[in-house]
Amino acid sequence: IAVGISIFKILLHVSRPNTLVLGNIPGTQIYHNLNQYKEASRIPSFLILAVESPIYFANSTYLQERILRWVREEEERVKANKESTLNCLILDMTAVTAIDTSGLDTLRELRKMLEKRSIQLVLANPVGNVMEKLHKSKVLDSFEEKGLYLTVAEAVAAISIP
């Protein structure tokens, strides 16, 4: 029974990757989970999400749906609070250790869907193997000039400048 439960937990974790909304710790260039760090605050016009899992065939559809749900929820929150509109989604890919062709297709589709909503998709800190696959697959070619940054803070600073 214990082995069965362990396998079930692994499959659940693999197929439902953790995604977090990040906020800025005031006075720093550090971005952390809004639920864990109460002092962290949202950045107007930005939705910053961290993906904490490899992106591949088993979870890419779920991940795309989850990200779009976060976007809808953020648009509703912004509208209800009469804040500035959502202009940019930053995906912090620091914890994404691998990506396959399904994951690459998901990023392409996500970018297209967000573009229709006038929301820019930006990738922050894709690491080694992931960056290599993004280049080889030419996914980065579809992103604008301001579509890839080393850190979330760098992305926010660059995109905030008119």
Residue 3: phi and psi, rounded to 5, are: -65, -45
- Give the model's pLDDT for residue 11: 75
Higher pLDDT, 70 or 145: 70
Confidence at residue 162, expressed as pLDDT on a 0 to 100 scale: 60
Average pLDDT for 141-150: 81
Cβ count near 157 (within 10 Å): 12
Is the pLDDT assigned to residue 161 strictly greater than 80? no
Percent of the chain clearing pLDDT 70 (strictly above): 98
Report how far residue 142's alpha carbon sits from residue 122's, in angstroms, rounded to the nearest whole number. Answer: 11
Lowest-pLDDT choice from 1-15, 22-36, 47-61, 85-99: 1-15
Q: Output the CA angle 134-52-138, nearest 5 degrees.
A: 5
Quote the pLDDT of residue 146.
Answer: 78
Which range has the worst mean pLDDT, 33-42, 56-65, 114-123, 144-153? 144-153
Domain residue ranges in the chain: 17-160
Distances (CA, A) of 162 to 36, 48, 129, 154: 32, 19, 33, 15
Average pLDDT over residues 37-63: 91
Predicted local confidence at residue 113, as pLDDT: 94
Burial pattern 109-135, b for ≥16 Cβ within 10 A else e, equals: ebbeebeeeebbbbbbbbeeebbebbe
**Average pLDDT, rounded, for the chain:** 89
> What pLDDT does residue 69 have?
94
Angle, vertex CA 92, rays to CA 121 and CA 152, nearest 5: 85
Give the pLDDT confidence of 75-89 residue by residue, as tens digits.
998 888 887 888 999
Query: Rounded to whole angstroms, how far apart are CA atoms 38 and 133?
Result: 36
Class for the domain spanning 17-160: alpha beta
d(CA 58, CA 47): 25
